[in-house]
Structure 1
Amino acid sequence: MAKLEISVEYCASCNYLPRALWMAGEILTEIQFDVARFDLVPGDMGVFEWSVGGEPVFSKSAAGRFPDLEELKEAIYAKLE
């Protein structure tokens, strides 16, 4: 099984880093051995976008809200199958 490459772009000026780090920690605690790379990318304009292998799995701008941790986990874990 190929290991995942996960990326989260977060709004630095909005102070979204703590939320991104918390979610990343929760996810990595469970699947750290299945992850090849995890990138935290500072952005702006309210961005909070998660992708796996370059494919979006959650977009705050599209959803109009932050992800629930469980829905984010499900979207990422689905990429392991």
Structure 2
Amino acid sequence: MLPKITIEYCPKCHWLLRAAYMSQEFLTTFDGAISEVTLRPSATNGRYTIFVNDSVVFDRKEQGGFLEIKELKQLVRDVVAPGKDLGHSDKKN
């Protein structure tokens, strides 16, 4: 079964657009490697958390802010498709 990504965002902070953009990036980058991306409004103010299945991959509060999309793709890639080359978005060794 392919992994699913859930983006939980704070609607009061107006982060729906950010979540929608990130979902598009994940769907495009991980085409065939994930089953779905779900956007879930949070009841907790200020929350922005990305899950792969039920595991937290990114939490805005723990990180102290948002990461760049390329960094988020790297975090998700490391879980869903560890061997995948992200091209120009990939880490430099």
**TM-score, scaled to structure 2:** 0.79
Identity of counterpart residues, as a percentage? 29
Higher Rg of the two aligned structures? 2
Structure 1 residue 32: Cα displacement = 2.4
Query: What do the CA deviations read for 1:11-52 (whole angstroms, capped 9, x no partner)?
Result: 011100000111111121121221112211101411000010
Structure 2: where are the runs of 5+ without partners?
A: 83-93
Show structure 1 runs of 4+ deviating over 2 A: none
**TM-score, scaled to structure 1:** 0.89
RMSD between aligned alpha carbons?
1.2
Structure 1: where are the runs of 5+ without partners?
A: none
- Identify which of structures 1 and 2 has the higher relative contact order when contacts are C-alpha pairs closer than 8 Å and 6+ apart: 1
Corresponding position of 1:22: 21
The 10-residue stretch of structure 1 (34-43 or 10-19) with the greater mean CA deviation from structure 2: 34-43
